[in-house]
Structure 1
């Protein structure tokens, strides 16, 4: 079991972020008799997944919905699958946009370099 500060350091996030995820019902760490949070290996694994979803711009509302569905149980597998497939499509759209932007930047950079070389 891990304290909130240990998880914070392990994952490279603030304790505020971990408390926020708890407030948003994305994570529900155990608490001891003194109400001190205690995170399991599974909690840390789940938080790593949550962080990947956030890094790929999944809105917190969708992450919260995914967490809710997971807690509800196996009968929500179809809904969870659809949510993740929709997010994967959004990621693919982001990748296309980034590639197109990179191509435009490469063109502009090349044009500027050529201009500088021919002065």
Structure 2
């Protein structure tokens, strides 16, 4: 079992975010006798997944929807699959956008380097 601080450090997630995820019912940590949050290895795996979804720009509302579907049980498997496939398509678009942006930047950087080498040669 881990404390909220330990989980935050291990996963590089702020304790504020962890409390927010709890408030939004994305995660439900256990509580000890004093009422302190306690996280299991299963919680950590779930939070790693949530963190990746957030890093890939999945909106909190979609994560909440996925979480709720998961809690409802196996009969929601198709809905969960569809939600994840939709998000994967979004990621594929992001990747393509990043690749084309990278190519444009590479051209621009090459252009500047060529220009600067020409300017530096003429000053010599």
Normalising by the residue count of structure 1, what TM-score does the alignment of the two structures yield?
A: 0.96
Structure 2: segments with no counterpart, 5+ residues: 120-124
Encode CA deviations 1:85-117: one digit per residue, 9 max, x unaligned: 000000000000000101111111111111111
Point out where structure 1 has 5 or more consecutive residues left out of the alignment.
none
Aligned residue in 2 for 1:39: 39
CA distance in 1 between counterparts of 2:7 and 2:117 reads: 52
**What's the CA shift for 1:33?**
3.0
- 1:49-96: per-residue Cα shift (whole Å, max 9, x none)? 000111111111111111110000000000000000000000000000
Q: Could you say which residue in structure 1 is the equivalent of 2:117? A: 117
Indicate the RMSD between aligned Cα atoms, in angstroms.
Answer: 0.8
Question: TM (normalized to structure 2)?
Answer: 0.92
Q: Distance in 2 between matches of 1:28 and 1:65?
A: 15
Q: Give the equivalent residue in structure 2 for 1:6.
A: 6
Q: Which residue of 1 aligns with 2:59?
A: 59
User: Which stretches of structure 1, 4 residues or longer, exceed 6 Å deviation after superposition?
Assistant: none
The structure having more radius of gyration, on CA atoms, is 2
What is the aligned length?
119
